[in-house]
């Protein structure tokens, strides 16, 4: 009897709603239509380096469509090409890519499906260049991947942030305060832009448009004069003042991308309160935006991306990621994806629309 063809699935980087829906889509289609065997690599690239994996049967893939997080575990730190190892209490980085590649070869898989954002897919591209057959699936709440109009997880994060803004609106109105909502978005302001528009934010601050605090203060004062005795500021964690810098919360030494942001909301809150005399409060939504069940949109997107990834495996379209272009699914080379973050273009129609309804970007 012929051995079943095997594929492996790995989830890397920050988790987000919809990862399990992709695992389910890839696995179910591969089992039902192609009679394949599925291997789940545990904890992202940690599992690849340390040979940790488990077989996923149909039952493992059932009942996970709506489940947040990833059943396989993930890591934002593990990078086979720069793997953090502690030796006599000291941190050092080793290139363990050969070991990772040997492990995947030993598994005898026809393809490794890498579900991840820019970091994960950058590593996937390197593994592909080193001979591993890879298909990528775009995942990140930040929506900042090149080669796709949208990533799954983004819609869910925007929904969570919008709900947060809606709730803060009523308390801002009651107390005549400035409420600052800090959302995720390291290099790109997609979450702030979308949730800011959806939640009717008065001021939206994104990394792509450095702000001037004096102009923000003027805007708040002007609203007050007009009888709007509250203001909502939606700020991306990566926003910065003109000529100034981002606010770093911590450095994760083991990570290839060690900077973790957070705190710009508190800086702004203090400045606005001091300069306007109006009370300000800050809420940092943080990892809430990555948790819980995916929206209907993300479930549908995850299912489309996952099933398309199986077609790409069958057609041996390795070194490519499934992306979205308008309403179509497209195949995008990982080389293109690995070229850095997709930021919000300054002439983006949504920025124009927001400005047209009086939303201020701090510039
Ligand atoms: O990459 C997704 C992301 O959510 C960023 O927006 C955020 O800066 C970062 O992850 C937070 O990372 P961690 O999980 O290490 O705190």
pLDDT bracket for residue 257 (50, 70, 90): confident
Kindly report the backbone phi and psi dihedral angles of residue 238, in degrees, each rounded to the nearest multiple of 5, phi listed first: -95, 10
238 lines ligand 1 (CB under 6 A): no
194 lines ligand 1 (CB under 6 A): no
pLDDT tens, position by position, 289-320: 999 999 999 999 999 999 999 999 999 999 99
Over the Cα atoms of the chain, what is R_g? 22
Question: Best mutation site among 13, 14, 79 for ligand 1, i.e. most ligand atoms within 8 A of its Cβ?
Answer: 14
Tell me what the pLDDT averaged over the chain comes to.
97
Per-residue exposure over 6-25, b if at least 16 CB sit within 10 Å of its own CB, e if not: bbbbbbbbbbbbbbbbbbbb
Span of 50-64, 173-187, 231-245, 246-260 with lowest mean pLDDT: 246-260
CA of 136 to the centre of ligand 1 (A): 20
Annotation says 142 is catalytic: yes
Kindly report the backbone phi and psi dihedral angles of residue 11, in degrees, each rounded to the nearest multiple of 5, phi listed first: -115, 125
CA 125 to chain centre: 18
Cα 13 to Cα 254: distance, rounded to the nearest angstrom = 13
Ligand 1 atom with minimal separation from the 13 CA: 1
187 lines ligand 1 (CB under 6 A): no
> H helices of the chain, where?
19-32, 45-50, 97-106, 118-129, 154-175, 190-198, 213-225, 264-276, 296-314, 334-337, 349-356
Cα 173 to Cα 73: distance, rounded to the nearest angstrom = 41
DSSP class of 260:
E
pLDDT at 129: 98
Cα 252 to Cα 173: distance, rounded to the nearest angstrom = 38
CA of 161 to the centre of ligand 1 (A): 15
What are the structure tokens assigned to 63, written together?
């009942």
> At residue 1, does pLDDT exceed 60?
no
What are the structure tokens assigned to 83, written together?
């793997």
Cα 32 to Cα 61: distance, rounded to the nearest angstrom = 12
> pTM score, two decimals?
0.97
CA 79 to chain centre: 18
pLDDT tens, position by position, 171-209: 999 999 999 999 999 999 999 999 999 999 999 999 999
pLDDT, average across residues 142-153: 98
Ligand 1 atom with minimal separation from the 262 CA: 8
3-state secondary structure 262-311: CCHHHHHHHHHHHHHCCCEEEEECHHHHHCCCCCHHHHHHHHHHHHHHHH
Ligand 1 atom with minimal separation from the 255 CA: 15
């Amino acid at each position: 009897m012929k051995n079943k063809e095997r594929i492996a699935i790995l989830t890397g980087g920050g988790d987000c709603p919809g990862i399990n829906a992709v695992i389910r889509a890839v696995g179910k289609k591969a089992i039902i239509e192609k009679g394949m065997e599925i291997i789940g690599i545990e904890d992202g690239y940690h599992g690849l380096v340390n040979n940790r994996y488990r077989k996923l049967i149909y039952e493992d893939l059932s009942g996970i469509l709506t489940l947040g997080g990833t059943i396989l575990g993930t890591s934002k730190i593990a990078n086979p090409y720069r793997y953090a190892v502690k030796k006599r209490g000291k941190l050092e980085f080793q290139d363990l890519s050969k070991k990772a590649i040997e492990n995947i070869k030993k598994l005898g898989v026809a393809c490794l499906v890498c579900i991840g954002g820019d970091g994960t897919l950058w590593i996937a591209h390197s593994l592909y260049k080193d001979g591993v057959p890879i298909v990528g699936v775009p995942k990140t709440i930040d929506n900042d991947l090149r080669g796709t109009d949208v990533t799954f997880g983004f819609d869910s994060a925007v929904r969570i942030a919008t709900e947060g803004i809606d709730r803060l609106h009523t308390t801002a109105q009651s107390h005549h305060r400035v409420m600052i909502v800090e959302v995720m978005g390291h290099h790109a302001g997609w979450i702030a832009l979308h949730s800011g528009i959806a939640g009717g934010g008065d001021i939206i601050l994104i990394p792509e448009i450095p702000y001037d605090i004096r102009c923000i203060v003027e805007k708040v004062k002007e609203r007050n004069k007009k009888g709007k005795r509250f203001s909502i500021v939606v700020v991306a964690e990566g926003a910065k003042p003109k000529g100034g810098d981002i606010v770093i919360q911590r450095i994760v030494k083991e990570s290839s991308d060690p900077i973790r942001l957070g705190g710009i909301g508190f800086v702004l809150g203090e400045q606005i309160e001091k300069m306007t005399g109006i009370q300000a409060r800050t809420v940092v939504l943080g990892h809430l935006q990555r948790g819980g069940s995916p929206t209907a949109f993300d479930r549908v997107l995850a299912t489309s991306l996952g099933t398309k990834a199986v077609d790409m495996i069958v057609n041996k379209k390795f070194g490519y990621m499934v992306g979205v272009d308008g309403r179509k699914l497209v195949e995008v080379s990982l080389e293109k994806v690995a070229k850095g973050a997709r930021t919000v273009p300054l002439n983006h129609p949504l920025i124009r629309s927001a400005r047209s309804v009086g939303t201020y970007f701090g510039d």
